[in-house]
Amino acid sequence: MISIIIPAHNEFNNLQRLFKVACFLEHDELTEIIVAVSPGNTDTIDKLECSSKVKIVRCKNMGRAAQMNEASQIALGNTFVFLHADVVPPSGFIDDILNSLQNGYDAGFFSYKFDKDTWYLRVNASFTAKDGLFTGGGDQCLFIKKDVFNKLGRFNEEQVLMEDFEFFRRMKKGNVPYTIVKNDLIVSARKYESNSYLRVNLSNFLLVVLFKFGYPSDKLKSLHNKLIRTPYNG
């Protein structure tokens, strides 16, 4: 049985869009969707129109890692799926996860494409179908067996940025068998709408390289905030 966990901070509009188009809500193997809301959330998230499977949880601590960990401790499923609020899963989403687990994988990710169709965004998206430098990012939607997630120590709450890459690094060190499902998620291009394509790509590359060389997460967060303009909350 599957528990989907969505960390959220002022993501009402994205969550409402997700729940209106989600084709997986009534799947028999989906136990619940836990929206892990930050303590600083100020939007009207309690007014979401959604399935009875959706649970809104007010978290004690701020930050994606802390929110996802808190939700994982109350989740009922034996498989966790960590989904961003602005990412829309494809048709066959739950079945793809189940098939991956049945084929011997303990974890996995999805390829994705952007909700804006330009040649340069198609180039970026093409890399998500391959195992490489950027594999493990949160937009790719990590799914993982509950016992494996807990054995790895859950997300590192001190990793205030790139907690997804840090966790993936531990997955690889632990030789966790994983796959990349080639069935595209739809990912928001909002970051590219507020920054140039070159600015986003160079910033992402720099941040990933610095992370891999052990640059402190608080300094990564500060650098990210200087490099990337984010006119949204979350």
Domain 2-191 has CATH 3.40.228.10: no
Instruction: Look at residues 20, 13, 185 and name the one whose alpha carbon lies nearest to residue 108.
Output: 185
At 59, the pLDDT band (50, 70, 90 cuts) reads very high
The dihedral through the CA atoms of 117, 122, 125, 126 has a sign that is positive
- Cβ–Cβ < 8 Å for 87, 22: no
Q: Would you list the domain boundaries of the chain?
A: 2-191
For 31-51, what is the mean pLDDT?
A: 90
Outline where 103-196 has alpha helix (H): 119-126, 146-151, 163-173, 190-194
Q: Residue 221 pLDDT > 60, yes or no?
A: yes
- Cβ–Cβ < 8 Å for 9, 233: yes
CA distance 36 to 65: 10
What is the predicted pLDDT for the residue at 233? 40
Residue 96 has φ and ψ, to the nearest 5°, of -60, -40
At 82, the pLDDT band (50, 70, 90 cuts) reads very high
- Cβ–Cβ < 8 Å for 204, 132: no
Per-residue pLDDT reduced to its tens digit, 128-145? 999 987 788 878 999 999
Judge if pTM exceeds 0.95: no
Give the single-character DSSP code of 138.
Answer: G
What is the predicted pLDDT for the residue at 22? 80
At 232, the pLDDT band (50, 70, 90 cuts) reads very low
